[in-house]
Amino acid sequence: MGDSAYLKKYVEDHPNNKMAWYLLGKEYEASGQEGKAHYCYIQAGNIYEAFEASKMPSPEEVLPGYEAGLAKEKHRRQKRSGFLRKLGLALLLLLLIQIPSAHAPGEQRVVQTPLAPQKVETPTDEPETVVDSPEMDKPIAPPVAIRGPVFTAAGYGGGSEKRQQAGLSSLLALRQQIGASLPYAVVLGMEPLEDYLVWTKNMPVVVALEEDAGSGQTTLQSYDREACLCTPPDSSELQAAAAAWIPEQESLGVLRSAMLHYKQAKGQWPESLETLAGSYPNNWIAGTDEVMEQAFKPLLAQLGRSPSVKGDAVADEGASAILASGMAPGQPPYFSEPLEIIVDTDNYKLAVISGDKLIRSYTVGLGGERTPEGTYAISEKVVNPNGRDNGEFGSRGMQLSDTNYAIHGTNEPDSIGKDESLGCIRMTRKDVEELFDLVTKGTKVTIGKGILPTLESVPKERFTLGHRQDQTNPHRTYRWLD
């Protein structure tokens, strides 16, 4: 994570959060501070054992490593005295003796038994400092009543240790986002590719966390055989639930983008879903679905924290509403940034992204040097340009910033992947129709060279909206530079 200061503050405020202790230990270990790392791993207890595939060491086993760590830190900092080293060692051994035994990793899940709030020693730049946090006396908030698992997704690549940290970090971030305990939280893994994380329909379940409010037990399960060196349980039920969560997050990403673009253009939030799904030219979105119908009002409450919305019934409803399956009450959509389009003229790729999440990547036809570089926005969306679905512009067209350039279909599919247009961006019929549903009016479009990885990421089941309105424009003849 590269943020030990944040983690130190977090464990001060949440001394019983063993995942945080584990992550802080990994930070110290990466920086060569093995003494501090050992201390954190002891606090992490069963979480350490689950992800390191070994029991916590006994006092006799940890003593040589701890002394070696102290020697390294003395050489680096030259601030520690012999008396404080002995005192720290004595405290460490005392803590080791008091730690309860845990289940060995393997096919069984590792159960963490929470400790009662107590004064804890928190590693800082001077490890002898003892912190007594006032937050320790505060009661723990009861868990939110949620049916089924709550999902998130995270970059999951590199070595096993890096993957372990990524899974734990995303669980910690999800709990912070919700602001409450989650009975069941599940992380899906996205493959890192250059500057992006690849979003797909079949992202694997990589780690899950269950919290039992009645017993106070926490169950952490890795589903990555290589990372945990264990035989994970069957994840088919979780994968089935994830298969519903993934397209629903795409719908929410489209809806959220449309609402933000509408607000930017009109100076106010849309009054209803129908406001966004109007007939041409008011077709901010290409249609609607059940997810959008359920989520519009609570999402408006989440976004509209302004005098025009705050305090009314809509805001009250949105405070506790669940936008879609696999989400917690009040949880925002996974795609926190508006969807954008990136076009790379070097490798003939067009991608849909949200921040560093690469949602789709298509092969397109271009016009060589006639395709302009720069930043645009989709100013118009039209079905069947010039009244035809098989003409030179295909079945869909998306104009770029009121120019003569557009992203559109083509009646020359062999031109895809080549420089045969007069400057526009050509797509196959299936690709352009899916893109038309994914992106809204106002979507940012960036065209440049060498700005996308060479990847084609198109699912077998395309994103498609229903309840379509009339989006044709029979009163205009388009003369884009095809």
Verify whether residue 38 is a known catalytic residue: no
Residues 466 and 447: their CA atoms lie apart, in Å, by: 30
Question: How far apart are alpha carbons 308 and 285 in whole angstroms?
Answer: 23
Active-site residue identified among 14, 38, 261, 408: 408
**Catalytic member of 103, 228, 424, 467:** 424
Q: Is residue 75 among the annotated active site residues?
A: no
Catalytic residue annotation: 408, 424
